[in-house]
Amino acid sequence: MAKRTDPSKMDRIREAAVEIISRHGILDCSVASIARQAGVSVGYLYRHYPGKGELINDLLQDALNAITRQIDSLMEKTGDIRQIVAGIVAFLLENADAHPARYRFLIMLLNDFSVEIAPEIREKITEIGRRLIATDKKPDGLRADISIDDLYLALVGIPMQYLASRYKFGFHTGDGDSGHLTDKIIKVSLSAIQ
């Protein structure tokens, strides 16, 4: 007979992983420390995740799904890349304010090469980039030479580095952060009109 999964335990495991990694980094986070903080046995954790890498990829998949839903929603509303960029940046900054540990966790993942990102997650990121590039065909929209890598750097890399600076150095210019950051991303990285 298969053992049942307790959703509250799974939530605690996921939150514990995010908290520990956001404070101590990926290498200093063990399955045992996650289980201890979550109040579950190591065996229970291993029954659901073969290792720390699989847990991390599951958490990354959740974050990516949330961003993808936001992008899909924005693309349904508009084909204007400026509005899409503004919506993505606002989404990232607002969620980072509401859930700072989750975003510190994501920043750690972006800057730590000890965990390999699952191929299906990489493909999903590439597909999002393709869709965004295909969305904006205005003459004053995206530069013609924009690649998926450029788009990822502009829409994810720049906001995450901004958040990293905010967390590490206390930079925070206030409520205008989203608009200011959106303008810089568009002018410096994406705009066909320089």
Q: Output the pTM of the full model.
A: 0.79
For residue 61, which amino acid is it?
A: Q
89 within some domain: yes
177 within some domain: yes
pLDDT tens profile 31-44: 999 999 999 999 99
Picking from 83, 75, 81, 63, the residue whose alpha carbon sits closest to that of residue 179 is: 83
Ramachandran assignment for 142, one of left (phi > 0), alpha (psi -120 to 50 degrees), beta (any other): beta
13 within some domain: no
Percent of the chain at pLDDT above 90?
23
17 within some domain: no
Picking from 141, 177, 142, the residue whose alpha carbon sits closest to that of residue 159 is: 177
Confidence of residue 120 (pLDDT cuts 50, 70, 90): confident
**pLDDT of amino acid 25:** 87
User: Taking residues 50-55, what's their average pLDDT?
Assistant: 91
Q: Kindly report the CATH number assigned to the domain that includes residue 92.
A: 1.10.357
pLDDT tens profile 54-87: 999 899 888 888 888 888 888 888 878 888 888 9
What is the spatial distance between Cα 35 and Cα 16, in angstroms, rounded to a whole number?
8
pLDDT tens profile 159-176: 888 888 888 887 665 555
110 within some domain: yes
What is the spatial distance between Cα 129 and Cα 75, in angstroms, rounded to a whole number?
12
**pLDDT of amino acid 121:** 79
123 within some domain: yes
**What backbone phi and psi angles, to 5 degrees, belong to 142?**
-70, 145
**pLDDT of amino acid 80:** 81
- pLDDT higher than 70, residue 181: yes
**pLDDT of amino acid 175:** 56
- How many domains does the chain contain in total? 1
What is the spatial distance between Cα 114 and Cα 119, in angstroms, rounded to a whole number?
15
CA dihedral 61, 104, 154, 53 (to 10 degrees): -40
Location of structure tokens 């986070």: 29
32 within some domain: no
**Contact (Cβ atoms closer than 8 angstroms) between residue 34 and residue 116:** no
